């Protein structure tokens, strides 16, 4: 997957959220003020992600965890970072 730096100047997390809301057909990742536009995924990549998520589901769902894929943004470190990981396992 290829990422393109959207602009050189840093933006706030609030500006990043507005960017996403104003462009719902695009996906971005946010890293400490910098924004990268993400390319669309491929069918092959999607199949791999789905297979991994299915395998994790069978192990983690019975333990009370939830497995999510690509279109769920993960934000952490006081909103300094916002990513769309291929697969994420978290507690509900």
- Domain positions in the chain: 3-91
CA dist list (Å): 15 to 26, 42, 47, 90: 15, 29, 33, 26
Q: What's residue 1's pLDDT?
A: 56
Sheet holding 27-31, edge to edge: 3-5, 34-38, 27-31, 81-83, 74-76
| CATH 3.20.20.220 given to domain 3-91 | no
pLDDT one-digit tens code per residue, 18-40: 998 999 888 888 888 999 888 88
Q: Which residues pair with 91 in a beta bridge?
A: 65
Q: Is 1 helix (H, G, I), strand (E, B) or coil?
A: coil
Q: What's residue 2's pLDDT?
A: 60
Kindly state the greatest CA–CA separation across the chain: 45
pLDDT one-digit tens code per residue, 40-90: 889 999 999 999 999 999 999 999 999 998 888 888 777 788 888 899 998
In the structure encoding, which two tokens stand for residue 12, read together?
């706030």
Q: What's residue 45's pLDDT?
A: 92
Q: What's residue 78's pLDDT?
A: 79
């Amino acid at each position: 997957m290829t990422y393109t730096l959207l602009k050189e100047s840093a933006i706030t997390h609030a500006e990043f959220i507005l960017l996403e809301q104003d462009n719902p057909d695009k996906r971005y990742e946010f890293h400490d003020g910098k924004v990268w536009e993400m390319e669309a995924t491929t069918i092959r990549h999607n199949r791999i992600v789905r297979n991994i998520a299915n395998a994790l589901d069978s192990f983690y769902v019975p333990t009370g965890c939830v497995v999510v894929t690509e279109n769920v943004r993960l934000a952490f470190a006081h909103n300094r970072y916002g990513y769309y990981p291929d697969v994420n396992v978290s507690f509900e």
